[in-house]
């Protein structure tokens, strides 16, 4: 429940104006939160000049007062940081600290969600990464064999992937400790899970930025998410039910490659109206 400390409230009505669901009103020159339409977005907590608003649904110790030094990022530096990011597939034989993985997840946890649903969860795979790799490669191989046996003119463009998946599993079975063409010998994987792919994707984007800020590298494995979809064996291993959806798979480790510059991109397609 959202609450207002009447002794601290000065009736400035900033929270009333900023509440998108109009769940706050002034009564006797004090803010009153009805807690009817409220979905606990926290705007009232953030905007109050007297810190008069709180909630018992979340940990209020996480709330930080704004100061420019700690909260501001130079726009040009941020844009360059985004431009310089690369998908990394070469990792050092070095473990990733739990503290850094937790900070990456924090970047996801504080990402906006539709109606503040906070409907994104995370699975960190470290000790079980080899088991997960084998299950995923086996599943991809089965999918590839099926696709090759049932090619049509419409699916012919998938032939290359099908052949690749079969070969990846064959190479793994021949030498399980050799070349890793799925997770590239990274020490950790974070799976971002949600029924809402937009919420999970937004969280994943912020998580990637935090990964880079921590001196780590990552890439999003579409092969893994494809293998896990509808696969009971993998979902059971991860403790997920059939209704849950793995939206992204972040493969994470210390980069064993150093990039020297940004890369070019197509011009943005913009329509000004």
Residues 229 and 155 in one domain: yes
Residue ranges in the chain modelled with pLDDT below 70:
none
How much is the pLDDT for 53? 98
Same domain (yes/no): 44, 159: no
Question: Domain for residue 67, yes or no?
Answer: no
**Does residue 147 share a domain with residue 124?**
yes
- Chain centroid to Cα 225, Å, comes to 14
Is position 235 within any domain? yes
Q: β-strands 246-253, 188-193: how paired?
A: antiparallel
Is residue 169 located within the same domain as residue 90? yes
CATH number of the domain that residue 256 is part of: 3.40.109.10
* One domain, residues 98 and 232: yes
The answer to whether 207 and 190 are in contact (CB under 8 A) is yes
Domain end among 62, 86, 109: 62
Q: How many domains does the chain contain in total? A: 2
Residue at 272 is within a domain: no
- Quote the strand ranges of 145-228, DSSP E: 188-193, 217-220
195 and 255 housed in the same domain: yes
Which of 135, 128, 124 has the alpha carbon at shortest distance from 96?
A: 124
> Which pLDDT value is given to residue 235?
98
Residue 136: domain span:
74-263
- Assign residue 46 the CATH number of its domain: 3.30.70.20
**Considering the entire predicted model, what is its pTM?**
0.96
Could you give the CA distance from residue 212 to residue 2 in angstroms, rounded to a whole number? 36
Residues 113 and 183 in one domain: yes
Q: Nearest-CA neighbor of 48 among 61, 28, 65?
A: 65
Residue 158 resides in a domain:
yes
Rg (CA), the chain: 23
Residues 174 and 78 in one domain: yes
pLDDT tens for residues 68-105?
999 999 999 999 999 999 999 999 999 999 999 999 99
88 lies in some domain = yes
The Cα–Cα gap between 46 and 250 comes to: 31
Do both 47 and 95 map to the same domain? Answer: no
pLDDT of res. 242: 85
Determine the pLDDT at residue 170.
98
Residues near 260 by Cβ (< 8 Å), separated by ≥ 6?
A: none
Residue 269 lies in a domain: no
Residues 229 and 124 in one domain: yes
Residues 142 and 10 occupy one common structural domain: no
Residue 243 per-residue DSSP state = T
Domain-embedded: residue 164:
yes
85 shares a domain with 173: yes
pLDDT of residue 243: 87
Q: Where are the beta strands (DSSP E) in 103-259?
A: 121-125, 188-193, 217-220, 246-253
Asked whether residue 69 is domain-assigned, the answer is: no
């Amino acid at each position: 429940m959202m609450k207002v400390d009447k002794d601290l409230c000065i009736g400035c009505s900033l929270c009333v104006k900023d509440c998108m669901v109009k769940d706050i009103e002034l009564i006797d020159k004090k803010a009153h939160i009805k807690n009817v339409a409220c979905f606990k977005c926290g705007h009232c907590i953030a905007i109050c000049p007297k810190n008069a608003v709180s909630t018992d649904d979340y940990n209020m110790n996480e709330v930080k007062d704004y100061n420019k030094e700690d909260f501001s990022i130079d726009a040009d530096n941020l844009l360059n940081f985004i431009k310089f990011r690369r998908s990394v597939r070469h990792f050092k034989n070095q473990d990733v600290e739990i503290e850094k993985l937790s900070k990456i997840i924090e970047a996801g946890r504080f990402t906006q969600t539709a109606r503040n649903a906070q409907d994104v969860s995370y699975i960190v795979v470290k000790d079980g990464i080899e088991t997960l790799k084998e299950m995923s490669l086996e599943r991809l191989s089965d999918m590839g064999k099926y696709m090759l046996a049932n090619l049509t003119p419409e699916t012919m463009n998938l032939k290359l992937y099908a052949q690749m998946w079969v070969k990846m599993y064959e190479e793994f079975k021949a030498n399980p400790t050799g070349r890793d063409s799925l997770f590239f010998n990274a020490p950790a994987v974070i799976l971002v899970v949600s029924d809402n792919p937009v919420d999970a994707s937004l969280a994943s984007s912020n998580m990637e930025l935090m990964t880079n800020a921590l001196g780590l590298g990552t890439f999003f494995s579409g092969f893994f998410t494809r293998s896990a979809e509808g696969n009971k064996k993998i979902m059971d291993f991860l403790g997920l039910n059939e209704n849950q959806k793995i939206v992204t798979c972040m493969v994470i480790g210390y980069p064993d490659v150093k990039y020297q510059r940004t890369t070019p991109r197509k011009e943005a397609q913009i329509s000004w109206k």
